[in-house]
Amino acid sequence: MAVLPPNGSGSSAARSLAAGLVQLFVLVLGLVQFISIGAAAQEREHLAIKAVLSAGVNSSHMRADLLSEHRYLVAGRVLPLALRLQPDEGWHTYWRNPGDTGLEARLNWQLPEGFRAGEIEWPIPQRIDYAGLTSFGHQADTWLLIPVAIPGQAQLNQLAQQSPDGLVRLRAHAKWLVCEEVCIPGEGDFELALPVADSASQPNLVNESLRDDFALARMAMPKQLDGAPAVFSTNQQIEVQLPLQNLPVLSRQPAVFFANKGLVSNELPPRVEIVGDVLVITAPKAPYFESAPHFVSMLLVTAADEDGLQAYDVLAEHTPKLVSLSQTQASSNDTAERPGSGSRSNAPQNLLYVLLLALLGGLILNAMPCVFPVLSLKVISLVEHGNHSPRERHHHGLAYTAGVISSFLLVAIVLMSLRSLGEQIGWGFQLQSPGFIAALAYVLFVLGLSLSGVIELGGSLQNMGQRQFESATGENRTNWHSSFFTGVLATVVATPCTAPFMGTAMGFALSQSLVIALLTFAMMGLGLALPFLLIAYIPAFANALPAPGNWMVRLKEILAFPIYLTVVWLLWVFSKQAGSDATALLLAGLVMLALAVWLWRVTLYSVRATLGRLLSCSSAGLALLLLVTGLSLGKAFQPATEAGAQGVHSANSGVANTYSPERLAEALADEQTVFVNMTADWCITCKVNERVALKTASVLQAFDERGIVYLKGDWTNSDPQITQYLESFSRNGVPLYVVYKPSQEPLILPQILTPRTVLEAL
User: What's 181-248 look like in SS3?
Assistant: CCEEEEEEEEEEEEEECCCCCCCCCECHHHHHHHHHHHHCCCEECCCCCEEEECCCCEEEEEEHHHCC
- Where residue 40 falls among pLDDT bands split at 50, 70, 90? very low
Which residues, 6+ apart, have CB-to-CB distance to 443 below 8 Å? 489
Class of domain 52-219: mainly beta
pLDDT above 70 covers a percentage of the chain that reads 70
SS3 176: strand
Q: How far apart are CA 464 and CA 456, in angstroms?
A: 10
**Predicted confidence (pLDDT) per residue in 298-320, tens digit:** 898 886 555 567 888 888 888 88
Q: Where are the domains of the chain?
A: 52-219, 224-325, 350-432+460-548, 651-761
Query: Quick one: how far is CA 604 from the chain centroid?
Result: 57
Are residues 271 and 338 in contact, defined by beta-carbon separation less than 8 angstroms?
Answer: yes
**Predicted confidence (pLDDT) per residue in 732-754, tens digit:** 677 889 999 887 788 888 877 88
Are residues 584 and 458 in contact, defined by beta-carbon separation less than 8 angstroms?
Answer: no
Are residues 491 and 411 in contact, defined by beta-carbon separation less than 8 angstroms?
Answer: yes
**pLDDT above 80 (res 506):** no
Residue 700: per-residue pLDDT:
87
Residue 18: per-residue pLDDT:
61
Rg for the chain (alpha carbons), in Å? 39
* Angle of CA points 298, 300, 303, to nearest 5°: 155
Are residues 184 and 177 in contact, defined by beta-carbon separation less than 8 angstroms?
Answer: yes
The average pLDDT across 621-642 equals: 70
Residue 81: per-residue pLDDT:
94
Residue 325: per-residue pLDDT:
79
Its pTM stands at 0.42
Residue 657: per-residue pLDDT:
82
Within a 10 A sphere around the Cβ of 318, how many other Cβ atoms?
18
**pLDDT above 50 (res 236):** yes
pLDDT above 90 covers a percentage of the chain that reads 13
Torsion of CA 111, 112, 116, 117, to 10 degrees: -20
Q: How far apart are CA 455 and CA 447, in angstroms?
A: 9
Residue 175: per-residue pLDDT:
92
The average pLDDT across 352-359 equals: 79
**pLDDT above 80 (res 76):** yes
**Predicted confidence (pLDDT) per residue in 646-671, tens digit:** 443 333 344 578 888 888 888 888 88
Are residues 502 and 362 in contact, defined by beta-carbon separation less than 8 angstroms?
Answer: yes
Element (H, E) at 739: strand 736-740
Q: Where are the beta strands (DSSP E) in 455-524?
A: 468-470, 476-478
Select 224-325's CATH number: 2.60.40, 2.40.160, 3.30.70, 3.40.50: 2.60.40
Asked if the domains at 224-325 and 651-761 fall in one CATH topology, the answer is no
Residue 472: per-residue pLDDT:
34
Tell me the sheet residues that pair with 110: 171
The average pLDDT across 6-23 equals: 56
Q: Which CATH code fits 651-761? A: 3.40.30.10
Q: For all residues of the chain together, what is the average pLDDT?
A: 75
How many CA within 13 A on the CB side of residue 684? 19
More confident of the two residues 52 and 448: 448
DSSP state of 469: E
- Where residue 501 falls among pLDDT bands split at 50, 70, 90? low
